[in-house]
Structure 1
């Protein structure tokens, strides 16, 4: 039997075939993008309907992030309502700091009221109880950073005094302590960036060095699930806090070490991380301008697959579908799945308009 002669492609035929294959790949990519965006919009629709019924802090968290994702003015009223509450809290603390012992008393109250529902919560409560005024100082720091995000700090009478108070706190000892980093890494990453943002002190290099010393190369494989999650959350929040919480992109060069850790531990991350952490890992790449990284696509697929058809949201690891408790997880998924390629800072709020 004679063999058929081998196929020989002429130049035009070969070019057509290559274009056809490229077109198929483009269609496949476009289909995935549409599927991801549709899933994000579907989760968003559930939360938009439920938004008026959510607790005020969940409304703030959601509206702040959706504004930064879309720039949509319909999220401004909830942000303004938060701005009013924020100024009230800060004015109370500014007045309180004029009274000797105020910071110590507030710290004791915060430690006493700290949640104790899990082993992690109890460990954090014990840790914070060992650090004097830090519990109050970290709350004050967060609120001042929020006021700065919204352009409210210059109009806050007496804010210079509370910034001076924060400058007197021994942040370096707290933020570089191995015991603190071992159970509080994400909060440490936030706080070191808030301190820099407000011009209080720049400890970013010292804290990154302490974090990498706490989790040296080769040690990650030995971490249990809880420690692994703490390590991952710490890494993601170095990036997220540097972005001013989704207001701007970050330098891929500055955070190359973070992205390299994610690449190195990719399979374990996909196998062990909760949807909250998976979304933050993807956001770290997105904020660094690395949307095309394969890990982003894999995480997006996993987030879509995690949606519960009955409720339209991503449930907790235990299967819980409470909208308020799941808001953090689901708003992160919305951002990852609907990533627009640009971000909207603020929103800027005027103290006169609150």
Structure 2
């Protein structure tokens, strides 16, 4: 009888303990989650504050920069924020695009004119002994028209197209494009080793313009030019060229921050980043690291550890006295650092993708279009 009573007392004590302890445990768990959430919010806020610091630095001097730089910055910031304060920078970019296309359509469109133009362009590489310039000269001297077609013409036509515009002599310029088979450049491994990011842009621009679609051929050739198992054999410059190429495949596929990306469409790239992010951080530079992070944002992968790593690296690189991310050599030049710092702003304070600005969606930005451009 005593043992039965003792057993009942033990069971009763256990039940009482469970009643009081379980809410306590739930409180601990809830507090832990809440604390973690608060930590994340604090970290996110520091990223946003640092992005604001860089923005203030650049926007106080934005129109002292060349048109290409102010336009590059303003277009990206507009696509992020849809803020009309960037309208003047966008008009500046429009004027630059119009000027280039006016020049090409009027003065550089015959085979001889293109040959003369590219001869001058390629001679610039003879004065630079860097590994990148030597590679570019060696491969492009046999395909000089690429400097006109890929590096110059396609970029300007594609930018006009993104705005919902085209040049008045669009038909003439498209006839020039159609003289060339772009797969010759896009599948050449030596070209890829010299121009990976540029070729990634160009194959998507061609597709965007409704011309040749050699994106799949380019990606296949890229994989052959840069097999992952040979990364350890690459120089620093070649590793940077490879990763830039990867990031620009994603950027170009998004029409430069205008459309979201599906991770599984580019799974091989995201797998590479996850497997190699520490090596990328160690062996490349802030521009590249920021671009990798933005690739994750474009795919909506906001909780991926790779994104946090890239943001932390850029935040650590920020010089708060100068209000920007300096170059790898410690330079604080606003013009030279614009690309790196606009990427840093986007990475630290991402505001989503917007299909903008276009004539149809933001007509107020296109009330005055530079001479030579017209609606599609």
Q: TM-score range by the shorter chain?
A: over 0.9
Shift of 1:352: 4.9
Is 1:152 matched with 2:165? yes
Change (3 A) 1:221 1:351: farther
State the Cα deviation string for residues 54-77 of structure 1 (Å, max 9, x = none). 122111111111111111101011
Q: Contact 2:319–2:325 (CA<8 Å) still a contact in 1?
A: yes
Give the alignment partner of residue 140 of structure 1, picking from 149, 153, 157.
153
- The answer to whether structure 1 residue 284 and structure 2 residue 274 are counterparts is no
State the alpha-carbon separation in 2 of the partners of residues 188 and 109 from structure 1: 21
2:316 aligned to which of 305, 310, 322: 305
Partner of 1:66: 77
| 8 Å Cα contact 1:189-1:238 kept in structure 2 | yes
CA distance in 1, matches of 2:264, 2:191: 27
Q: 1:306/1:352 Cα in 2 relative to 1: closer, same or farther (>3 Å)?
A: closer
Name the structure 1 match of 2:66: 55
Evaluate the alpha carbon distance shift between residue 21 and residue 118 of structure 1 in structure 2; reply closer, same or farther with a 3 A threshold: same
Once residues 107 and 367 of structure 2 are traced to their aligned partners in structure 1, the CA distance between those partners, rounded to angstroms, is 21
Flag structure 1 segments of 5+ consecutive residues without an equivalent.
Answer: 1-5
Q: TM-score, normalised by structure 1?
A: 0.93
Unaligned 5+ segments in structure 2 are 1-13, 360-364, 371-376
Matches of 2:306 and 2:284, distance apart in 1: 13
Tell me the residue number matched to 2:11. Answer: none
Select which of 66, 86, 93 maps to 1:75. 86
User: Could you tell me how far 1:92 is from its partner in structure 2?
Assistant: 2.1
| Change in CA separation of 1:222 and 1:329 when aligned onto 2, cut-off 3 Å | same
Q: Max radius of gyration: which structure?
A: 2
Aligned length: 348
Report how far residue 310 of structure 1 moved.
2.2
* Aligned position for 2:207: 196
Moved more, 160-169 or 140-149: 160-169
- Partner of 2:61: helix, strand, or coil? helix
Instruction: Tell me how far apart the structure 2 counterparts of residues 296 and 102 of structure 1 sit (CA, whole Å).
Output: 47
Q: Please report how far the alpha carbon of residue 95 of structure 1 lies from its aligned counterpart in structure 2 after TM superposition.
A: 2.1
